[in-house]
Amino acid sequence: MTVYDGASWLDEEAGRLVRPYAISNGRTIPTQELDLLSMVMATGRRDRAQLDLEHAQALDLCRVPTPVAEVAGRLRLPLMITKVLLSDLIDTGAATARPPGSGANMESRDLLEVVLNGLRRL
């Protein structure tokens, strides 16, 4: 990961000025097995200033446990690129991941209602 130098790679009208594959240095396969519903959380062990822009943004989103799908949506990046970024953060100890279903019944109607309400708020 390279250090972010402060230059903006976003244009208000055009959007992202860098192709997604450039963000992941051409990598398309994450080193960690992450599901759409895997919960990722920052550990606080890595200084945000040492990260490039996209890694820092992903880490900011993961201050609380956040599903991979939500990180991808908020970063407006393809899922695989997001998984590569999150894998990088996990590999360096900046974040941890918990597989989907850990401590939750994935067939629970209550869980489905929480997800639906979250989607409606977006």
pLDDT tens, residue by residue, 6-22: 444 554 554 555 566 66
87 in any annotated domain: yes
2 in any annotated domain: no
- Helices (H), ranges, the chain: 20-23, 53-61, 68-75, 79-91, 109-121
Number of separate domains in the chain: 1
117: helix, strand or coil? helix
5 in any annotated domain: no
114 in any annotated domain: yes
3 in any annotated domain: no
Judge whether 89 and 55 are in contact, CB under 8 Å.
yes
Q: Is the pTM of this model over 0.75?
A: no
The string of DSSP letters for 5-24 reads -S---EETTTEE-S-HHHHT
Write the CB contacts of 108 (distance below 8 Å, at least 6 apart in sequence): none
Give the per-residue pLDDT at 115. Answer: 76
